[in-house]
Amino acid sequence: MTTIDLKKHLIQRISEIEDMAFLEAIKTILDSKSQILHLTSEQREEIKQSQDQINQGLFTSHDQLDEEFEKWANKN
């Protein structure tokens, strides 16, 4: 199925739906897909720095945090 075929199929299926809640749910999905996130230059720089830190192995995994929490919780 091509993109055009799929769009036509979806349009047809949506046009048959009478359930307002379901249509609103579809609208929510479509709206969330079309939202563009605008970042400031500072935010983009922070993301780049975070990615660099991850690439250098400078992070704590979820499992490591769980272990640290367990140690902390058992001390109290």
- Report percent pLDDT > 70 for the chain: 99
CA atoms within 13 A on the CB side of 71: 6
Average pLDDT over residues 2-25: 96
pLDDT of residue 32: 85
Per-residue pLDDT tens over the stretch 28-48? 998 888 777 789 999 999 999
How far apart are alpha carbons 56 and 14 in whole angstroms? 48
pLDDT of residue 14: 96
How far apart are alpha carbons 56 and 29 in whole angstroms? 36
Which secondary structure element, helix H or strand E, spans residue 40, and what is its range? none
- For 28-56, b/e burial (b = at least 16 CB within 10 A) is eeeeeeeeeeeeeeeeeeeeeeeeeeeee
